[in-house]
Structure 1
């Protein structure tokens, strides 16, 4: 059965600036008094409600169906976009199963009986006590509360935070988390690279930024605090080619993905040649560098390059003053065969990419990581800018079709042509349907995850001319 927390809907309404009708969610039960988003801390718990006992199973991911105004066929509020842009995830509500039947009436108290023993001690079989059921409670993409269990000061401004989280062992090198502070108004969430994992542990390293709301709040959290997180998000960084040279070029706090990548190389392809190029502003602010150098020393072909742009009175022994030159990067390009990963400020990433491509490194051998600050997305839907007809070619599939507004989005058109392309929310909020495109497109719903140059979210994009979709 489906349960909606009315306190959460109130928080959503405040963020949207319009009422959010509970009927959009077609729940079996509506509860209040928990506090906004506290229901996401309940999966695995037993709940007493009236004469019944329930076990909370999983949070509920929301899709395009919630955009329709109750009592009509009109889509007037993009609920997935509201959730994704304001709150950083797509979940609202929880599922429950009935453990013991009984009467429930309006006004009954919602009593949290704590974690169910069957979930704490999983056993064999397909039921709620099984390990499969317990594992699903830690599904990485779902928002869940995690306990802050430790912190390490890496530099005067950078702290590593360790969280107890069952999804820790599922994370891959280069992926990131979203941390959500549910008591902030307006809502507050940010992305942080995962710098380390354990069996039931995740670590992120955060730089405290002057006037940064999120980083300041995190640095003030005491050990034992429970923080809502979601993820991991993103793809694994490197290909498993043991012979191809790897360049990790980073600047500032962009060093955070390097640690899990190096640990992965030690476990999987220790003979792979790897160079870490790190650019920092001062020698007094070089977070995580000692650990990077220590890991590189364990690799037979690991090399470090540290550049300090404003060395002042202190220049580390292994550092060079200034920035890497085009000649420096050309020397690291391995005659164009290197696989490069870039992370740092936009200017740094652009300059390194340009230098590597000038040295003969193909564009598809260079990956860069861009985190984005949350931005309010439009919650209404625009009409198509042009009526067509236009030719849409799905180049990988070899399918071509003629598009008019009656065909809907590029995803709708693909499905009508018999294609099954990746998709999830169908509201421009999750990024699952992102594909490369050539030609003019327009997004009817504003994407909450920027698709990038030459890309489109097929679930909410339409052609504005003839288009090739590389799928």
Structure 2
């Protein structure tokens, strides 16, 4: 568009003004045809504007307006297809507070460099495309941004679904974009949503500048919008408020979370981690276990090594902004356990602190054994805090092992811990075992736990950044199988051509929770009551007897709790 007039409370005129309902799906669920389920949509085109808007298919000559031909619309889109118009100058947006979407072309270019292929920015279907520093848009949350005469407030980052996996020209699903975003950037987000705060006209080549205006009320509304991604997952700008050198080559950063007052830390669990994004100009990211919390501030403690992540962290200065997301991670601490063993090595001490704090908060009085080891006393970090927390627990014993250079550390044992004896003792006490350290250290203890038959009570904290699988396995020629959606009271026969279970469910009229449709966000996970499913993608996060509907097919007759 050569220019567009933006008005308060509205989006680009005509954007999402009409939707086409999906076959057999109830209108109350707003289940419109979209690229996530119908990649063929890229071939249709709109002509005209306003009341004269027409939908045509250029492949058939492009001279018939499907919106004015209900019979032809149903022929293309199914028996229940109907055009649903918005007459209030609002669009069929994903969320009522998200009128405008902004895509930073420089961010897409950085992602293209990571993938080694050119990614068309149009794939992300933005209203406004900008050129700015890569990833800087995530630092604008809650802030005003001036584009020409218009002031916008940035209200939410945009979590991407599998619609971005569709090539906007060919209609082919050629890239699992949510998985690629997660692998290379550490989250599923690209772009930001905005609202109009002061009206005006914008045009190509208008300058962009952050405004000295903030809109906290917009953020407070955005984090509570039903079905919107929770604030904990948003990439957001955290300010470095303190830097502490804990030991030789080990540094802590205290980060102030701008969304803490809005609940981003409310569900934080001991032992969880946060992700740091955009640590380099190329967008590198890493995750680090939280070693402490004080109100809206989180601490990470990082050992310097040859990696780009630790190198970037050790160059950070007070006052700097770092994009973060989280906290993430499963609940591993059972405060009802008969005993708790915490075994760590090196920088693996970090989750010990939040776990001990949680045990102290519930006045845990069952036996606790803490065994930590380092090679040299110069590399010992946070041990004084561990001892202080341990002193507040009535039945806690903390032992330090320094294996090479003990120095003058009081009560340190100058030898490696006997991990086999520790695991056996834990087994005798029916204890939960918490383990954190290098991969080799964890593998060694895991092997012992398996020998002793207590691997199911072993909780391992990993420092490895996840590599998401980016392609789904082909659906095998199998079936037919009976699929029962128990809560919905629907039973139907599944065949391979029906696709993943989520597509099958929607074809039967069910409106189920779903987002990425790439096997990543876990939104569509559903309890498997009977039978078995075949996962189409590897996922370490899928719980036992749970089916990831968007990335699973039946391998027998099944019953699902949905």
Q: Which residue does 2:422 correspond to in 1?
A: 328
Alignment pair present for 1:278 and 2:379: no
Matches of 1:434 and 1:74 in 2, distance apart? Answer: 26
CA contact (8 A) 2:346 2:437 kept: yes
Measured on the aligned residues, the alpha-carbon RMSD in Å equals: 3.7
Alignment pair present for 1:305 and 2:399: yes
Matches of 1:394 and 1:343 in 2, distance apart? Answer: 42
- Superposition pairs for residues 177-216 of structure 1, below 5 Å? 177-181=274-278, 183-185=280-282, 187-209=283-305, 211-216=306-311
Matches of 1:370 and 1:394 in 2, distance apart? Answer: 37
Alignment pair present for 1:239 and 2:334: yes
Alignment pair present for 1:30 and 2:167: no
Q: 1:370 to 1:21 in 2, by over 3 A?
A: same
Matches of 2:315 and 2:383 in 1, distance apart? Answer: 24
Matches of 2:560 and 2:356 in 1, distance apart? Answer: 33
- The CA deviation at 1:425 is 1.5
Secondary structure, in 3 states, of the residue corresponding to 1:103?
strand
CA contact (8 A) 2:371 2:417 kept: no
Alignment pair present for 1:220 and 2:315: yes
Deviations 1:397-424 (A, max 9, x none): 9999865322322554577789998754
Alignment pair present for 1:158 and 2:255: no
- The CA deviation at 1:277 is 1.9
**Larger Rg, first or second structure (1 or 2):** 2
CA contact (8 A) 1:84 1:430 kept: no
Structure 2 length as normaliser, TM-score? 0.70
CA contact (8 A) 1:435 1:469 kept: no
* Candidates 35, 45, 53, aligned match of 2:143: 45
Structure 1 length as normaliser, TM-score? 0.83
Matches of 1:423 and 1:273 in 2, distance apart? Answer: 43
Secondary structure, in 3 states, of the residue corresponding to 1:244?
coil
- The CA deviation at 1:44 is 1.0
CA contact (8 A) 1:49 1:109 kept: yes
* Candidates 330, 351, 359, aligned match of 1:265: 359
* Candidates 271, 274, 279, aligned match of 1:174: 271
Deviations 1:219-238 (A, max 9, x none): 12222221111111112331
Structure 1: tracts of 5 or more residues without a match? 123-127
Matches of 1:154 and 1:400 in 2, distance apart? Answer: 60
* Candidates 381, 384, 400, aligned match of 1:290: 384
Q: 1:308 to 1:439 in 2, by over 3 A?
A: farther
Matches of 2:330 and 2:213 in 1, distance apart? Answer: 32
Q: 1:356 to 1:17 in 2, by over 3 A?
A: closer
- The CA deviation at 1:456 is 9.0
Q: 1:97 to 1:406 in 2, by over 3 A?
A: same
Q: Which residue does 1:125 correspond to in 2?
A: none
Secondary structure, in 3 states, of the residue corresponding to 2:384?
helix
